[in-house]
Amino acid sequence: MPDAADATDAADATDAAAIAPVPRAPGYPAELERDVVTRTGQVVHVRPIRPADAPRLVAFHSALSPASVYLRFFSYHPVLTAREVERFTQVDFVERLALVVESAGRLVAIGRYDRLAGTDEAEVAFIVDDDYQQQGIGTLLADDLARAARRQGVSEFVADTLAENSGMLEMFRRVGFPMTTSFQDGVVKVRLSIEPGPAYAELLSAREAARRVPAGPDVGDAGC
């Protein structure tokens, strides 16, 4: 349960959400930034998280439904603590990375990996704004996180998922990586081998074609 000071800090951060330009940290992997089209035809922006995203993260979390928060945190957790905000927004882009999806200047989804120390495995977690779910954004984050993680020597993603979370389990299945599961105390332990085999490559190629932002009209020599 967050304490009062944490909640106050988080509320202050929300007040500061007067969307300021977001500076880039040293080592920020700008190559992971891109625009993509969602299944509803909306163009959204994917990029690594930055420390200055703290107010946006607080605003994002506070807009989530209690059901989505429960599925992600396994508990009633309406307000992120200041410590969580710091941990979630401050990543080293190597052992820990979070990618955010932005639409109209606000965060609408976050996916992250945290390497399990000294291994080639990383724990992953995803959360998508309720209004943006089932538009392919979770899968997009899984694809982009896997690509980034492989470059850092990660070969397996692991995740603990509530057994009732059919959406997450189905998303993991549909991404197309070889997957194994085990069940313990109401939690499904998912393990994905993120080396891109032919089956995954084919799925990814179809998804990437659908995500491509159409080129604008060629204005060439037009105009005066």
Ligand X SMILES: CC(C)(COP(=O)(O)OP(=O)(O)OC[C@H]1O[C@@H](n2cnc3c(N)ncnc32)[C@H](O)[C@@H]1OP(=O)(O)O)[C@@H](O)C(=O)NCCC(=O)NCCS
Measured distance CA(170)–CA(9) in Å, rounded? 36
Residue 181 binds ligand X, judged by CB under 6 A: no
Least distance in angstroms from the C-beta of 165 to ligand X: 5
Measured distance CA(82)–CA(105) in Å, rounded? 22
Residue 128 binds ligand X, judged by CB under 6 A: yes
Residue 33 binds ligand X, judged by CB under 6 A: no
Please, which contacts does 24-27 make with residues 24 or more away whose CB atoms are closer than 8 Å?
Answer: 24/50, 25/50, 25/51, 27/92, 27/93
Of 172, 176, 140, the residue nearest 158 (C-alpha): 172
> How many residues lie near ligand X (CB under 6 A)?
23
At residue 38's C-alpha, the angle toward residues 133 and 99, to 5°, is 70
Binds ligand X (CB under 6 A): choice among 125, 146, 149, 188: 125
Binds ligand X (CB under 6 A): choice among 33, 92, 170, 195: 170
Binds ligand X (CB under 6 A): choice among 58, 97, 127, 148: 127
Residue 68 binds ligand X, judged by CB under 6 A: yes
Residue 171 binds ligand X, judged by CB under 6 A: yes
Binds ligand X (CB under 6 A): choice among 8, 119, 134, 180: 134
Residue 167 binds ligand X, judged by CB under 6 A: yes
How many helices (H) and strands (E) would you count in the chain?
7, 8
Q: How far is CA 25 from the centre of its chain?
A: 18
Least distance in angstroms from the C-beta of 6 to ligand X: 22
Chain residues binding ligand X by CB under 6 A are 68, 71-72, 125-128, 133-139, 159, 161, 165-168, 170-171, 174
